Structure 1
Amino acid sequence: MVLPNCRGIFSMLLSLWLLASTPVLAIWPAPSSISTGESTLWIGPLISVSYNGKPLPWHYGYEPQGLKFSSSEIIRGGVARAMENIVHNNFVPWMLYNRMELEATEPSLLKPKTFITHLDIAQKKPDTPKTFKPLAGEVDESYSLNVDKNGKASISAVSSTGVLRALESFSQLFYQHSRGNFFYTMSAPISITDKPEYDHRGILFDVSRSFFPVESVLRTIDALAYNKMNRIHIHATDSQSWPLEIPAMPELHQKGAYARGKTYSPGDLALIQRYAINRGIEPIIEIDSPGHFGIVALSHPNIVAGWKSTPWTAYCAEPPCGQIRLNEPSVDPFLDKLMDDLLPRLSPYTSYFHTGGDEVNFNMYKLDPTVGTNESAVIVPLLQKFIDKHHARVRKAGLVPMVWEEIPANYNVTIGKDVLIQSWLGDEAIAALTAKGHQVITSNYNYWVSVNGIWGRET
């Protein structure tokens, strides 16, 4: 599969951002420690690589295959991408210099050249199955990268994930020469030690309000890898559409997708998840509930209250409205069937499942024939029962539940200590939630959110 190249654009923008402090070197994110020199090194399309003392053959376009994850295969793919970015996706840094000054500043092609011809990779500890589906903080992503002025390059890391982060930094060392396909750094010797500041560094990607083809999701994962982020949170369904195919319940996407073909098949979902893990990124899928569930009324009207109720401002955060009925007997069999199909297809690739829980509108339950009131004294116990059962389904599949902050903070619903809380309404609630012993992701909606609401930063 050929994806449009966005690496050069990202590199150029990041290079400009760092221009003030490092005019000819742009390692992003800024590493924990970096030292550089003033010697020039060159790198070509052929470089030999060793991994833990053994040759590691690689070729451009390599993507790990098979059902199981292998450290050497993941690193082989990382080397192929790093070299692809250096040799095929690089750029001439003319914007980093004053007008017409680039050619006077970049190294001469006529002088003798010292090439990097070998990269030695050492992984200090073997990976475990948890390396590829970790809880936050379970993978050591630290690394060191060294390139001496004679062209000897080496990477040392605890995990294969750390090696991938080092390879991203390695690829960022080089620029393309203005005279053609020649690639250089003028900063040798280079020594970098780095580790992430946050255990969870991710993007929230909403594919339900706006459908994105698989290629766009994969391209987003590539962008996360360039930025050394480690989570992609996919908001898979909402009241606007249900693009996720559930083989046991095909009516959900058949009636809930925006259009024929605007869906993600089980094969698509597996591809997305594997593609992410091979880049050191954990996929987290969200099926929001009990709010943001209106679209299911098209296939299962008996479990949804207030579908398309008006005026929508009285019943939901945005139209079309619709929430899961809280006291309807057919809800549990529906969710059992849904989760029995979906969760086993997620659990090989992640340790988390996001159950949503945001923006539950109590007024909606005046329209729910099984509730008939908006009083908290009635609704909160029903919410508690709903969350308890739903999180039990998630745990049964070997996954850790995630919720939006409103569940514990606004609705006073008790959740397990294992549950990961995502806060989006601001920073005020985080101290209170962590004081109770909860782990919290901050996704403050005031930062890194696009105008159409499909992007959000998570840390």
Structure 2
Amino acid sequence: MKLYLSLPLFASLASAIWPIPVQYEHGDGVLFISEHVSFNWGAGAGNVGFTDQHENTYIFRANSDEISHVQDQQGGYRKRASSDEYGNASEAPTGDDMVDYAVYSAHRTIFKRGFVPWKFHPRDWEEPDPDEATYITEVKLELLQEDPEDIAKPLAGAVEESYALTLTKDGQATISANSSVGIIRGLTTFTQLFFQHSKEGAYTTLAPVKIFDAPKFQHRGVNLDVSRNYFSVKDIKRTIDALAYNKMNRFHLHVTDSQSWPLEIPSLPELSEKGAYRPDLVYSADDFRDLQHFAAIHGVEMITEIDMPGHTSSIYLSHPDLIAAYNVQPNWNTYAAEPPSGTLKLNSSAVSDFLETLLDDLLPRIYPFSSYFHTGGDEVNKNAYTLDDTVQSNDTAVLQPLMQKFIDRNHDQVRAMGLTPIVWEEMLLEWNLTLGDDVIVQSWQSDEAVAQIVEKGHKALVGNYQYWYLDCGKGQWLNFDPSIAASNWPFNDYCAPYHNWRAMYSYDPLSGVPDDKQHLVLGGEAHMWAEQTDPVNVDRMIWPRAAAAAEVLWSGAKDENGQNRSQIEAAPRLSEMRERLVARGVGADAIQMSYCTMNGTQCALGLS
């Protein structure tokens, strides 16, 4: 019996794929999967035009320490425990490295990171009987085209992420794609077909399965601020793993800001030595390389941001001559969006020399792993330049040509390293700068801003703070003197209320963008600013709400009929994704109580 994706089916059964595929049909047959399953990885075999044709066979066996062994074409078993052991960590992984790790990760997900789906069935539900089951013993992986050279660090749209997945009723599984990244996405979907049995093993109740899938948007990411509060490398890797499992392909690391400079710059060691909160709260050069490689092996490109010229007052602690209006008290808000105030001086040759040294050190270490560099540019307060001894003015007519020179200098150096610059929207829309045609503009303030960006011919990234800011709704993190406390009660933050997953799911990145300009919207990001988020609560602040943005970016905000996607259909699927994230070690927040997921549409309103 074949069943197609539909509301009545998915309201009560655990058969979810997140994000929702373009085409998905399945049956109701039960298949178990052997823990000794082999993955046959054919790259180029039998296909014209490949310069590197080969095959790998991965055969897994359980070990007492629960680490799998993998047998490849060279023979013998290789015990592997982490992504660090795939490829050369100082170089971008190849497509082979990425698939190699994806196979290992898929096996681990199915057998070590699964869950028993009792929450998604009625109380009288019985698990399938494994005694007379048919087993999947082989998964074929077919790469249909040769990977592009920069498979691990593509420009938006340069790598095709589509895939096709079939699973026959007798247990024949095949994933085919036009790139290694597509194979990774297909393997991610494959793992979502399976659940753990309470006794042992893993199974699906969906055979046969036929899926074709491809993303709506080319850039799908999460932005994590690690300057306001410090997050360990382990915390960041867990975030990258979770976003990759939601088929996101970009991780934006907002690594420095006014409050701290936690990134080691070997040629300028004093930046982190004096600018970090503590000497041990620093990302070393090795940590930075490790994070970039970890992202790349997951099919995710890490984009690093050094925000400037504003949001830079932490530089003062090591280079006071470079910063204007540093930590003005008590009226810091005259000069900055947050304390401590401070901005790079705008007409200083010393600042130019400093940035030359900084970027000469940093950009070559980014280049192997990314095609982008984010130069910031948000919330620059013109009043700060009245205290800048190289300017002494807040007049736009004076400041604008100096900002143009500042951005041109930075972007010329970024381009010289072979990277594409990204800026926040203010540089284009508030400062009215002339930006190169290659510059991508990241918007955060409004849909109208996105429309203005694309009207000017620039590619845009969306992330409207009224929908996709994950920090909103917790209330003010500032303290108020009794003289003004009453007028600020009840102390809401600027972007309240809290943006629940339904609000995030309702956002259309193309809202207000003319049809003939929609191709310029590359995608977007959900943003986790960290004034009130630290390692204790970061998981539940990001997940599973960012997964709602992930489905919008992968599948589009509208369904096949052009209507807004249904919350009633999405809720049980997102609840299941939440369980999968928890099984991966992510402290994701709950979507609904178990009663709702066990009882179909009984927790819905408005059904006729």
CA distance in 2, matches of 1:131, 1:19: 38
Match of 1:107 among 120, 128, 143: 128
Give how far 1:431 is off.
1.2
Give how far 1:128 is off.
2.1
Give how far 1:177 is off.
1.5
In the alignment, is the contact (CA less than 8 A) between 1:19 and 1:96 conserved in 2?
Answer: no
Map residues 160-179 of structure 1 onto 2, 5 A cutoff: 160-178=180-198
Q: Indicate the residue corresponding to 2:589 in structure 1.
A: none
Q: Indicate the residue corresponding to 1:9 in structure 2.
A: none
Q: Does 2:396 match 1:373?
A: no
Q: Indicate the residue corresponding to 1:141 in structure 2.
A: 161
Q: 1:271 to 1:372 in 2, by over 3 A?
A: same
Map residues 113-128 of structure 1 onto 2, 5 A cutoff: 113-128=133-148
Map residues 27-426 of structure 1 onto 2, 5 A cutoff: 27-52=17-42, 54-57=55-58, 60=68, 61=81, 63=83, 64-66=86-88, 67=91, 69-98=93-122, 100-103=123-126, 106-110=127-131, 112-178=132-198, 180-310=199-329, 311-426=331-446
CA distance in 2, matches of 1:231, 1:265: 22
CA distance in 2, matches of 1:251, 1:55: 47
CA distance in 2, matches of 1:147, 1:129: 31
CA distance in 1, matches of 2:154, 2:59: 27
Give how far 1:58 is off.
5.6
In the alignment, is the contact (CA less than 8 A) between 1:209 and 1:240 conserved in 2?
Answer: yes
Amino acid at match of 2:179: S
String of CA shifts for 1:277-331, please: whole Å, max 9, x gaps.
1111000000000000001001101110011013122111111111010012201
Partner secondary structure for residue 387 of structure 1: helix
Q: 1:246 to 1:146 in 2, by over 3 A?
A: same
CA distance in 2, matches of 1:268, 1:417: 33
CA distance in 1, matches of 2:471, 2:166: 41
Task: Single out whichever of 48-57 and 38-47 deviates more from structure 2.
Answer: 48-57
In the alignment, is the contact (CA less than 8 A) between 1:58 and 1:79 conserved in 2?
Answer: no
Q: Indicate the residue corresponding to 1:23 in structure 2.
A: 13
Point out which structure has higher relative CO (alpha carbons under 8 A, 6+ apart): 2
Partner secondary structure for residue 161 of structure 1: helix
CA distance in 2, matches of 1:336, 1:432: 32
In the alignment, is the contact (CA less than 8 A) between 2:27 and 2:209 conserved in 1?
Answer: yes
In the alignment, is the contact (CA less than 8 A) between 1:174 and 1:184 conserved in 2?
Answer: yes
Task: Single out whichever of 377-386 and 126-135 deviates more from structure 2.
Answer: 126-135
Amino acid at match of 2:24: I
Amino acid at match of 2:183: V
In the alignment, is the contact (CA less than 8 A) between 2:37 and 2:59 conserved in 1?
Answer: no
Partner secondary structure for residue 132 of structure 1: coil
Q: Indicate the residue corresponding to 2:565 in structure 1.
A: none
Which ranges of structure 1 fall in alignment gaps of 5 or more residues?
1-16
Give how far 1:65 is off.
2.6
In the alignment, is the contact (CA less than 8 A) between 1:58 and 1:76 conserved in 2?
Answer: no
String of CA shifts for 1:383-423, please: whole Å, max 9, x gaps.
01100101111011110010000001011111101000000
Amino acid at match of 1:262: L
CA distance in 2, matches of 1:58, 1:300: 56
CA distance in 2, matches of 1:55, 1:284: 31
State the aligned residue count.
438
Amino acid at match of 1:75: V
CA distance in 2, matches of 1:175, 1:162: 23
Give how far 1:57 is off.
2.4
CA distance in 2, matches of 1:318, 1:168: 40
Q: Structure 2-normalised TM-score?
A: 0.70
In the alignment, is the contact (CA less than 8 A) between 1:305 and 1:368 conserved in 2?
Answer: yes
Which ranges of structure 2 fall in alignment gaps of 5 or more residues?
1-6, 46-54, 61-67, 69-80, 473-528, 531-541, 554-608
CA distance in 1, matches of 2:413, 2:470: 33
Give how far 1:76 is off.
1.5
In the alignment, is the contact (CA less than 8 A) between 1:366 and 1:374 conserved in 2?
Answer: yes
Q: 1:204 to 1:50 in 2, by over 3 A?
A: same
Amino acid at match of 1:366: T
In the alignment, is the contact (CA less than 8 A) between 1:87 and 1:181 conserved in 2?
Answer: no
Amino acid at match of 1:85: T
CA distance in 2, matches of 1:87, 1:446: 39
CA distance in 1, matches of 2:269, 2:141: 47
Partner secondary structure for residue 212 of structure 2: strand
In the alignment, is the contact (CA less than 8 A) between 2:262 and 2:283 conserved in 1?
Answer: yes
CA distance in 1, matches of 2:442, 2:245: 24
CA distance in 2, matches of 1:68, 1:387: 29
Give how far 1:429 is off.
1.0
Partner secondary structure for residue 38 of structure 1: strand
Q: 1:155 to 1:18 in 2, by over 3 A?
A: farther
Q: Structure 1-normalised TM-score?
A: 0.92
CA RMSD of aligned residues (A): 1.7
Q: 1:58 to 1:375 in 2, by over 3 A?
A: farther
String of CA shifts for 1:2-59, please: whole Å, max 9, x gaps.
xxxxxxxxxxxxxxx9984472211110011100001100012111111115332265
CA distance in 1, matches of 2:136, 2:129: 17
Task: Single out whichever of 48-57 and 358-367 deviates more from structure 2.
Answer: 48-57
CA distance in 2, matches of 1:403, 1:109: 55
CA distance in 2, matches of 1:451, 1:334: 33
Partner secondary structure for residue 247 of structure 1: coil
Amino acid at match of 1:208: S
In the alignment, is the contact (CA less than 8 A) between 2:312 and 2:342 conserved in 1?
Answer: yes
Give how far 1:107 is off.
1.1
Q: 1:19 to 1:84 in 2, by over 3 A?
A: farther
